[in-house]
Structure 1
Amino acid sequence: MRIACIHQGWELYGSDRSFAESVAALRGTHPDAEIEVVLPRPGPIVDILQSHATRILFEPLWILRRKSLLRLATIDAPRLPIAVLRALRRLRSFDLVYVNTSVIVDYALAARFSRDRTILHIHEIPEGLALKILGGLIRFSGSELIFNSNATRQAFGDPKTVMTHVVYNGVEGPAAPLPVTYHGTRPLRVLLLGRINRIKGQDVLLDAVAALPSSVRQRLEVRIVGSAFESDEPERDLRERIDRLGLGEHVTLLPFIPDPSQHYSWADVVTVPSKRPESLGRVAIEAMAWGRPVIASSIGGLTEVVDHGRTGWTLPPGDPSALRATLLAILDDPAVLAPFAATGRLRYEKLFSRDAVSATIGRIVTQKLARRGIAAGLSSTTERGAAE
């Protein structure tokens, strides 16, 4: 069995961890398979892939990103045919090619000519022109599709001409949730963890805290953890905003780290105040796994993760006043956190645990191979040889 897994990232943010967990699921389902992983460059993700991949290669990929659209359409356009040919050669030499996210253009195009071997796993909800381009690509590919939420599938119009699945991201959590330790006798610890950009809502949290009376702000400790992508300008802007709002004593800004467990251990409540649709919301899932109630925007896949009034709160996106009111409610009634934490952990175990999701991914792959007449553990090359 020969399986290739293609990913556009190299860090350890949500989509990177989801990819690593899918590779682990494939290894668990096909322990004797040759699994080749292709990344655009080395990075922290390599460490968690090594135990599951037979080999890891670094190759240029034609990745569609908002900030590089002009370059891709002009300077980089001549290299697209070469990239597609390279992708097509890999598609035809492997029994299965698993492509993580829709933005890897060369593989989406090549899949059109070998669609029976390809699965595209969609983890993003683009908007505007990007949605039209990526939606057109996945339809053109003709590949079998896995969406990470119903919200993601709906955003792409639920293509009817190909086989589709909704599989929530599997997240590895602690063996047991941490106890709730906030009872109102110390400051409430509020965590926001995620990439620093225009959609994650760091500004919404800051505005909510700034709107609190000074005496109430003394009862809060806020930790914002994350880094920007390929530029430190958003981080500088965020620091300047913290200073401008006079929140330096209450808000700590820390860089991204591969293992965020220390931050979940520190937190009492986790905020995910995204201003644009999240395809699912990995941070919200991780928070529930750790026993931390979530305050999230009622947008995109976050509404499928957070059960409002039972595991946390869902609020209108981009609304600091609603977030401010929720923080005040927790400060006024800390007892609400313990039952929310317990219910959130149960929801995580049922819907989002790595074991539950790995079994589903493995079943989809096995069924796809079976439709081509390939039995588990055998490659098409092996079967051809046996037939001869």
Structure 2
Amino acid sequence: MSSASSDSLTVLYVHAAAELYGSDVALLNLIRHLPPTIRPIVVLPEQGPLADQLRERGVAVKVFPLAVPRRYYFNARRFYRVLGLPAELLICWRKLKRLIRAEKVDLVHLNTSILIGAAWVVHRCGVPLIWHWREILPERGWWREALIRAAQRWASRIPCISNEVRRQFYDQSKATVVFDAVVPDDTAPCNPERLRQELRLGSDALCIGTVGRIQYRKGQDVLIRAASQILKRFPNAAILIVGDVYKKNYAPRKALERLTEQLGIRDRVFFTGFRRNSAEVMRLLDVFVMPVRLPDGFGIVEIEAMLQGKPVVATNIGGSLDVVVEGETGFLVPPDNPDLLAEKIILLLDNPSLRVEMGEKGRQRVLQLFTIEHQVKQVVEIYHAAIRESRGRLRNRGARASCP
């Protein structure tokens, strides 16, 4: 062990991307607020804005292949990527094992469930493994079974970002709910009116928006279909689609643009691309919408909106069930239901006082449940519990070995 004292730890964080969306931001926030007794080292599979942000804060970042089996590898056009995974796993094995030994790592924290290759390496190295689960996997399939069984067998602890994520495990003894958190940043420049001017929105335009990577599972098309009804009641309303495509795969965005043209609302739907200053976006909005059709593990963008005092309309699946209180901080609707989604948004747009009331209750809920201080405290306690268990097992093995 590397620790100079019983409380200090060297923790190796492994993450599957280098962008600045939900899980990326969650990792960045966690590392930024770790106590000084924890020395973080981060491994990423590529360069990107997350790597830049970490290095700006003095965090050591290593970049090498992690044999991440992406969902889109398993279609006919990209199946060749699957064939490259064994070679990536070999590189991951060599580099990760060398890094753990060279840096005298006390434990490894994987930040997403799909890092099964890295999990296997860490397990083989005999280092305590914290395997953070953020995803809700498809209900059936060998891939789900393989990941769940690997986590239950190899991990010392399994932090889960919502109750829905935790429910996936047959044996929940290692699984603990640790909600992601938001960090109020009063020092960042935040001028929502500048964004209003950039988009050329009128001062009287009510703004409805969603934030997330543009892809089918996020349901941006459901919001656009709802928008065709909303705009009949509020012709000056603006629909903001905030986020970008993955790896320059522009097909999902082009499909959304075609849909706006078919519905005759192209001039009222604004594709802003990725925005680093999420607070600026949230403050501009009157209603935040999370129309996912497949469950997300947690709604971190929802709590970002709630922190800014905005009511949230989300689908009643996944992590949103832990975030949004129906009728109190917003509304929950079934997925793929643009009619009901439009109805709830129109109700909020029609009632400014209700928006304010729900927004304030949402902000108070965030400050009570989703603070970074509470999250860090939980995570550090998990680290020390895993270390104590690991040392206990080593002592027991030593005692058994010394028995005549």
TM-score by length of 1: 0.86
- For residues 216 and 94 of structure 2, what CA distance do their matches in structure 1 show? 35
- For residues 165 and 286 of structure 1, what CA distance do their matches in structure 2 show? 23
Counterpart check, 1:21 vs 2:29: yes
CA contact (8 A) 1:115 1:141 kept: no
Q: What per-residue deviation string (whole Å, max 9, x for no partner) do you get for residues 237-258 of structure 1?
A: 2111111211122211110122
Q: Residues 276-355 of structure 1 correspond to what in structure 2 (within 5 A)? A: 276-355=294-373
Letter in 2 for 1:310: E
Given the superposition, is the C-alpha separation of residues 346 and 233 from structure 1 closer, same or farther in structure 2, using an over 3 Å criterion? same
Q: What per-residue deviation string (whole Å, max 9, x for no partner) do you get for residues 108-140 of structure 1?
A: 112333455110111111214342342233234
The corresponding residue for 1:141 is: 154
The corresponding residue for 1:77 is: 86
Given the superposition, is the C-alpha separation of residues 362 and 75 from structure 1 closer, same or farther in structure 2, using an over 3 Å criterion? closer
Report the 3-state secondary structure (helix = DSSP H, G, I; strand = E; otherwise coil) of the residue aligned with 1:37.
strand
- For residues 159 and 72 of structure 1, what CA distance do their matches in structure 2 show? 33
Given the superposition, is the C-alpha separation of residues 53 and 365 from structure 1 closer, same or farther in structure 2, using an over 3 Å criterion? farther
Aligned-pair distance for 1:96?
A: 1.1
Q: 1:119 is matched with which residue: 96, 117, 130? A: 130
The corresponding residue for 1:228 is: 245
Report the 3-state secondary structure (helix = DSSP H, G, I; strand = E; otherwise coil) of the residue aligned with 2:121.
helix
Q: What per-residue deviation string (whole Å, max 9, x for no partner) do you get for residues 188-215 of structure 1?
A: 210111110001111111111113463x
Letter in 1 for 2:46: R
Q: What per-residue deviation string (whole Å, max 9, x for no partner) do you get for residues 149-189 of structure 1?
A: 110111x22434x522110001113559x9xx9xxx93321
Given the superposition, is the C-alpha separation of residues 148 and 371 from structure 1 closer, same or farther in structure 2, using an over 3 Å criterion? same
Letter in 2 for 1:141: W
Q: Residues 181-196 of structure 1 correspond to what in structure 2 (within 5 A)? A: 186-196=204-214
Q: Tell which deviates more after alignment, 135-144 or 324-333.
A: 135-144
Aligned-pair distance for 1:72?
A: 4.9
The corresponding residue for 2:171 is: 159
The corresponding residue for 1:379 is: none
Q: 1:9 is matched with which residue: 8, 17, 29? A: 17
The corresponding residue for 1:238 is: 256
- For residues 159 and 346 of structure 1, what CA distance do their matches in structure 2 show? 34
- For residues 346 and 34 of structure 1, what CA distance do their matches in structure 2 show? 32
Counterpart check, 1:56 vs 2:56: no
Aligned-pair distance for 1:82?
A: 4.1
- For residues 184 and 315 of structure 2, what CA distance do their matches in structure 1 show? 22
CA contact (8 A) 2:152 2:174 kept: no
Report the 3-state secondary structure (helix = DSSP H, G, I; strand = E; otherwise coil) of the residue aligned with 2:264.
coil
Given the superposition, is the C-alpha separation of residues 319 and 95 from structure 1 closer, same or farther in structure 2, using an over 3 Å criterion? same
TM-score by length of 2: 0.83
Aligned-pair distance for 1:106?
A: 1.8
Q: 1:86 is matched with which residue: 71, 95, 99? A: 95
Aligned Cα root-mean-square deviation (Å):
2.4
Counterpart check, 1:361 vs 2:379: yes
Q: What per-residue deviation string (whole Å, max 9, x for no partner) do you get for residues 248-282 of structure 1?
A: 22211110122222211211110001101110111
Q: 1:261 is matched with which residue: 279, 284, 302? A: 279
Q: 1:101 is matched with which residue: 92, 112, 123? A: 112
CA contact (8 A) 1:102 1:108 kept: no
CA contact (8 A) 1:147 1:164 kept: yes
The runs of 5 or more residues in structure 2 that have no matched partner are 4-9, 194-202, 393-404
How many pairs align? 362
- For residues 263 and 324 of structure 1, what CA distance do their matches in structure 2 show? 21
- For residues 271 and 59 of structure 2, what CA distance do their matches in structure 1 show? 38
- For residues 9 and 246 of structure 1, what CA distance do their matches in structure 2 show? 37
Given the superposition, is the C-alpha separation of residues 210 and 265 from structure 1 closer, same or farther in structure 2, using an over 3 Å criterion? same
Q: Tell which deviates more after alignment, 234-243 or 32-41.
A: 32-41
Letter in 2 for 1:252: F
The corresponding residue for 2:402 is: none
Identical columns (%): 27
The corresponding residue for 2:41 is: 36
CA contact (8 A) 2:157 2:382 kept: no
CA contact (8 A) 2:66 2:89 kept: no
Counterpart check, 1:131 vs 2:155: no
The corresponding residue for 1:197 is: 215
The runs of 5 or more residues in structure 1 that have no matched partner are 375-388
- For residues 24 and 112 of structure 1, what CA distance do their matches in structure 2 show? 27
- For residues 164 and 116 of structure 1, what CA distance do their matches in structure 2 show? 18
The corresponding residue for 2:401 is: none
Letter in 2 for 1:152: V
CA contact (8 A) 1:110 1:141 kept: no
Given the superposition, is the C-alpha separation of residues 213 and 121 from structure 1 closer, same or farther in structure 2, using an over 3 Å criterion? closer
CA contact (8 A) 2:108 2:130 kept: yes
Q: Tell which deviates more after alignment, 221-230 or 33-42.
A: 33-42
- For residues 78 and 252 of structure 1, what CA distance do their matches in structure 2 show? 42
The corresponding residue for 2:399 is: none
Given the superposition, is the C-alpha separation of residues 35 and 157 from structure 1 closer, same or farther in structure 2, using an over 3 Å criterion? closer
